[in-house]
Structure 1
């Protein structure tokens, strides 16, 4: 191996010789041509030596220059040194003054000597080049192996990252399908289950049913609990204390999610729906029951047994809907088995095998439970065996198949402190479960009856689980209370748990519930009405009205008389101090039966609504700000109570407002989006209120500002059937003067009425309507309207001014910083002008018959031309007939029947070739240019044709997920792009240029100056690379929190597409087709 230092010395010698030649060229007149030739040869030699020196420096100890004959290189270097020394000798400055003077005036080489030096230099160069060319194959093979290893590593890394993305998407999809998980309940039930119990069911009845083939025995209805396993199975637990667990969508969604573990293909039908129901404002709409049924039927058919288990179906208030879904799936799937448990028969013997769990069947299980408790209970395990046998025999005989009675009886005995008391209690045990409950209630001190009854009522009929803090405030609130102060609050937060004698419990997350569903059954039964504890009787018919009044009383307290506040911190602090405020604000209206309002109900509702006249809108302002905390205070001040009464479906309140104020403006805008009371009532499906408002003179032709549509264009969904029937009876009218351009000139009572071209965000992402009810919060009045049509937030007749666009942006995204909102509005203006300009120019070209599209111009009778399929597009995305499902929201369908094709783009009117739908989608977005920098202080806030360019701009210019910090002393500059950093190293620090220079008969690279003594360029690039730690970021449009900048970019891109793409439709309507 050559010594790098000797090579470096040769390079230095070459530099000395070149310097001497330059001096001769300046001093001796006729020497310049010869000096130039020698210099060129020497420069070439210097380049070769530099290349050898660079290759001689290994990147690591294990990597060295592989040469087939190192001795050959050494000999070549020796000859090189001899040649250079010969040149130096001829050019060396003489000792005597005369010879030095002569040397300066005379060229030292004769023609023969000059040619000799040239020949020797050529030979040296050839030898050195031959050294490396002889080893090029070995080096290439080594490079190929390394590249192959690198490619394999990259493929593995990409696979891991892809698997992570798929796993994350799968988790998000399953969370959307199953917002209510049965896992926690299942773990509690499994932990409570004792070994050797349930054998009477699992070993006989269950196995016979599971593998049976009678289609009419596909349902097994068990009046009790059970456990089973199958090849493909799903389970769910309904709970009377968890409203979400009673929703059929959540139940079936959870079952489908579990089935996907054994058959992942089932999610293929759900994934497009998941994307279609994406809305940046309201999140994702819940899945439709019919879609879940279709997916299970399509993908779970076959020979694989499918078992579904649903426990306590009777505790769901929508059990009939669940039953219908199960019956439909059973009629299509012969391999499906469904196991249901409950307390009442819900199926006839024709459709199900019904097993009544009586005392005889489960006697062994009850005896096992008794023995286990006597052995494990901290008090009972200390009793002698004789007394334990007596307890076991007595409770077993009195159980009559009721585990709950056994549990309460054993708990009662465990609470006693002497053997005598236990023996006495055994003689007086209640004979039934209801007598047990009555005995528990009798033990509640009379002074606590009012508190305990209020707690039972709230927990039995509340619309969601209450926390202990919420319940503590609810039970102390009197019907005439005007102020909730410290004197009224309970001394101990947990005192209710003690007062209610174990009939209420607190779970691990802090929610309070009745201890068992049978508690509510007992409190609402006929038996309790004539018992000694009739004070605790609860009436389901009046419970809702009572809770409504209590919620309204709470909202009308003087605690909230001060009105709205001006910061989110103040809102949160107010809710922290007043625990029940959230529940009362959101659910008071859902507890009401608006047609049954009496004078007292009207009085308390009017008290809340009339407080709007107080400073900062008083209690009314607090209520509105609680249900919509991001609403601006000006909207609270200007929105009439009629708007909210219509939104909540308060028929009697709407009637009273209309009667008390005959001159009221029924079409006054309200809420965050300026909708009319009629529009919000239609959107929320309050058909009775719709009828009232129409009779009072509300204008159904007035378009909603947030959608540009009238109430006649509600989506075709079951939720709006009654409302559409009422609207169909609206008398025929001409267009109102304030109606948008192109509005129907008559009432759209016919099914053939034209529909608007625009699509709403509530539509399917691929352009088709989604037949499902949108999920919203209990009283989320505005969010649903915003979702409906928010992607078409401009009226067709709106003059496209900056002010109009700015109002649109701020209405859609009130969170935006003013600077960014102004930028987006300006880009909307430019976008409209550019697109309208292209359309107007094309219209003029059509008139002049000078369209450049020629035979493809559709307006001149042209047509598209089919093009052959490219091989790479055949196996990828959809060729053939394009449909709305193939394109993102806002992208119009291409004017062709099939792809690939060549046709005139209806946006830019250029003739293009498109192989597949994604080609057309990209082109449409390039024409619209929806992407703009979202950083207010950006120096170059331009629009981008391609999403990738916009992402690169933000990630490298602003978000800085990675950067390079120069490590050279006294430098410290940072660079966001790798190529910029490399150029900095080359130009500022004189490192070797990574690009290979061409134009010579050999390869030359610049060498790092020897005095730098640093590592190679690529090592420095790697060492100086820095990556920012990924962290959660909040969307400045909607406030959603995304876990990293890359996820945020995808999210922001959708916002900008939804804002920009509808401009196409606006141009179509305003400029004309």
Structure 2
């Protein structure tokens, strides 16, 4: 192999670049002028190199002079830079090439090539002293320019890499909770008893008894509000300090990822890295969307951030996590290893098991009397905005509510909403006198007021929010609750009007994000209340939600939806698929997430299995028509040479989760939603290595999938195709011709 920093190596490199530019000239429009100028300059450089090669052969083999060797090194650097840019866009077919240079970048590389060519020409003309001196000066200038350019590019690449890692580690749902919590106390200053009483002295103490503080309070007592307030308040302790770093994380009851120790630590690291990016250097290998870093590496990143200043970490709702012991141990280890570290954790009182017998931790309890002043302000704000309550003595309203609130802001909020909604002041007073005693009793009272004709729809909406494998938007939820068994079509005559009517029917149990339109429970205590086991025939028992029952119901609703008329049409382009997504809001969730709900709900009943079989059915309604079916795409009997047609077919195979579903049933591959991001080749190799291909071909070639095979996962082997494209085509043809006959 030729030395790249030699005449032969440089000539070969120029030849490769010229060939690449020819490919770009064929595939790229609008850059012909720049491509032509680069080719001209490269041909000139190649010619000068050939002249030098001839001169060296005539003079015999002798070592290169230092100046010429340095020129070759610089030339190799410039050509290498050009090669990397041209190679960067060659990951796909030529027709997808994109010209990688803008005009200033192209002019810059042309200038460098011009200088390299000039210096080489000076050498080829002879070693005149004046020419050599000029060459040395120019060579030094270009060398410095190239080195600075490489250093600048390296710094930009490092920054881009750090930002990409931070995005992987960040927790957007947690940030959304912080934003919402902060908006709740704007204009007021809640938690003075905690901030000025406990937190100020603890954060200001250089050597506190413990670097950890546990804030304990009942569900609904306002811990999340207090934690968000502390995160925004802490910098005011020392406004002139630039060394104080604050990071926070909120564990969400409906987001399992937010409850994992690596997700919590990663979220904290991402925020600290905004101020100290170098802490990410401790992550090796670098994290990806598929592979998160180990907890120990993240702990090292956090500890490193505290080396040059104080770091305050806040973790809210630790009780929501099943990994709370591991989380506490991790945070305790960080706190013990760093004198500058302060960690605040909030939780309900029932998690004392996280504390070791020998652990030292400052514990602060949200006692009722401590929250009373903030609750009084909360009541006064509602009175000021209610014309009905303004007709009543404000002190009497305040005393009546605070007497029963027992420190629960959530209870207080529900009662204020109900009392303020009364049509007259007299009715409002009667409502004040009959308020329920506990939060659970308050929830039961709210549900008892749901109109009889709306109870079924409200219960179903609550179940979708509680058990769907992914949070739904309001439009998706509206679509989901109107689906009935055996329904065959859906249009605007089925849909709710106005779109927010469902939120009103649920009387404050649901909350819709103004930015994402995602619907969640207004408070985690709602989910807890609905899941609590009840017995008997009373009204409370009606509202109890069982996960297994409702997960199967969600599967049934999704498949019923996908079997409706709008999805029987023949899809031939991605544009048509996007149009269906826009027209039918639940389509994306139903088609990509229903298998997740299969796994969450356990074994399917006969009704669900029948829908699954219908969903996989593909048939030909007449000899002149193409194969059609619930997948909603054309199945070709023979392999097509049309690449676009093949792309849409492969996309839809992946979109409708056929392989993930089948292999999950067979017990071959554990299905995860993220698996859909694999390329066809990667997925094919993964399944082939697990002997899944032969099993699925056997299954699909049967007249009817054997129930015992689905249960046991043992199927005979059939020949496996050698490539993913053959596999997809083979399965398509088998489904069309063998799996199901004409209906």
**Structure 1 residue corresponding to 2:414, chosen from 375, 385, 408:** 408
Matches within 5 A, 1:259-278: 259-270=272-283, 273-274=285-286, 277=288
Matches within 5 A, 1:296-315: 296=301, 299-300=304-305, 302=307, 304-315=309-320
Matches within 5 A, 1:24-103: none
Q: Corresponding residue for 2:6?
A: none
Secondary structure of the residue that 2:172 maps to in structure 1? coil
Q: Distance in 1 between matches of 2:273 and 2:152?
A: 21
Secondary structure of the residue that 1:513 maps to in structure 2? strand
Q: Corresponding residue for 1:648?
A: 664
Secondary structure of the residue that 2:631 maps to in structure 1? helix
Q: Corresponding residue for 1:829?
A: none
Q: Distance in 1 between matches of 2:216 and 2:654?
A: 57
Per-residue CA shift, 1:301-335, capped at 9, x if unaligned?
64744321112233446545544543554565455
Give the drift of 1:391. 0.4
Contact 2:450/2:506, CA 8 A, preserved across alignment: yes
Per-residue CA shift, 1:880-910, capped at 9, x if unaligned?
xxxxxxxxxxxxxxxxxxxxxxxxxxxxxxx
Q: Distance in 1 between matches of 2:651 and 2:146?
A: 55
Give the drift of 1:430. 1.9
Q: Distance in 1 between matches of 2:467 and 2:575?
A: 32
Q: Corresponding residue for 1:203?
A: 196
Give the drift of 1:547. 1.5
Contact 1:555/1:623, CA 8 A, preserved across alignment: no
Secondary structure of the residue that 1:584 maps to in structure 2? helix
Greater shift in the superposed pair: 455-464 or 359-368: 359-368
Secondary structure of the residue that 2:629 maps to in structure 1? helix
Matches within 5 A, 1:457-606: 457-508=463-514, 509-526=516-533, 531-562=538-569, 564-593=570-599, 596-606=603-613
Contact 1:643/1:671, CA 8 A, preserved across alignment: no
Q: Corresponding residue for 2:168?
A: 176
Contact 1:269/1:295, CA 8 A, preserved across alignment: yes
Structure 2: gaps spanning 5 or more residues? 1-136, 218-222, 236-243, 637-643, 671-678, 694-707, 730-743
Give the drift of 1:167. 5.3
Give the drift of 1:629. 11
Q: Corresponding residue for 1:372?
A: 381
Q: Distance in 1 between matches of 2:683 and 2:563?
A: 27
Matches within 5 A, 1:1010-1021: none
Q: Corresponding residue for 1:82?
A: none
Q: Distance in 2 between matches of 1:619 and 1:484?
A: 15
Q: Corresponding residue for 1:389?
A: 395
Q: Corresponding residue for 2:265?
A: 252
Contact 2:511/2:519, CA 8 A, preserved across alignment: yes
2:434 counterpart of 1:428:
yes
Q: Distance in 1 between matches of 2:602 and 2:532?
A: 26
Structure 1: gaps spanning 5 or more residues? 1-143, 278-283, 655-668, 684-688, 707-806, 812-1073
Q: Distance in 2 between matches of 1:180 and 1:427?
A: 42
Contact 1:174/1:257, CA 8 A, preserved across alignment: yes
Q: Distance in 2 between matches of 1:252 and 1:641?
A: 32
Matches within 5 A, 1:1053-1072: none
Q: Distance in 2 between matches of 1:704 and 1:331?
A: 56
> TM-score normalized by structure 2?
0.61
Give the drift of 1:462. 1.6
| C-alpha spacing 1:303/1:219, structure 2 compared with 1 (3 Å) | farther
Contact 1:595/1:651, CA 8 A, preserved across alignment: no
Contact 1:235/1:308, CA 8 A, preserved across alignment: yes
- Alignment size in residue pairs: 531
Matches within 5 A, 1:811-960: none
Give the drift of 1:456. 0.7
Secondary structure of the residue that 2:617 maps to in structure 1? helix
| C-alpha spacing 1:320/1:698, structure 2 compared with 1 (3 Å) | farther
Q: Distance in 1 between matches of 2:634 and 2:345?
A: 42
Matches within 5 A, 1:747-786: none
| C-alpha spacing 1:546/1:417, structure 2 compared with 1 (3 Å) | same
Per-residue CA shift, 1:894-935, capped at 9, x if unaligned?
xxxxxxxxxxxxxxxxxxxxxxxxxxxxxxxxxxxxxxxxxx
2:350 counterpart of 1:345:
yes
2:287 counterpart of 1:293:
no
Greater shift in the superposed pair: 541-550 or 606-615: 606-615
| C-alpha spacing 1:203/1:491, structure 2 compared with 1 (3 Å) | closer
| C-alpha spacing 1:426/1:166, structure 2 compared with 1 (3 Å) | same
Q: Distance in 1 between matches of 2:521 and 2:645?
A: 32
| C-alpha spacing 1:379/1:349, structure 2 compared with 1 (3 Å) | farther
> TM-score normalized by structure 1?
0.43
Give the drift of 1:263. 3.4
Q: Distance in 1 between matches of 2:634 and 2:603?
A: 23
Contact 2:259/2:320, CA 8 A, preserved across alignment: yes
What is the RMSD computed on CA atoms of the aligned residues? 4.8
Q: Corresponding residue for 1:189?
A: 181
Q: Which has the larger radius of gyration?
A: 1
Give the drift of 1:487. 3.5
Q: Distance in 2 between matches of 1:653 and 1:268?
A: 34
Give the drift of 1:435. 2.2
Contact 1:220/1:340, CA 8 A, preserved across alignment: yes
Secondary structure of the residue that 1:362 maps to in structure 2? helix
Contact 1:308/1:339, CA 8 A, preserved across alignment: yes
Secondary structure of the residue that 1:477 maps to in structure 2? coil
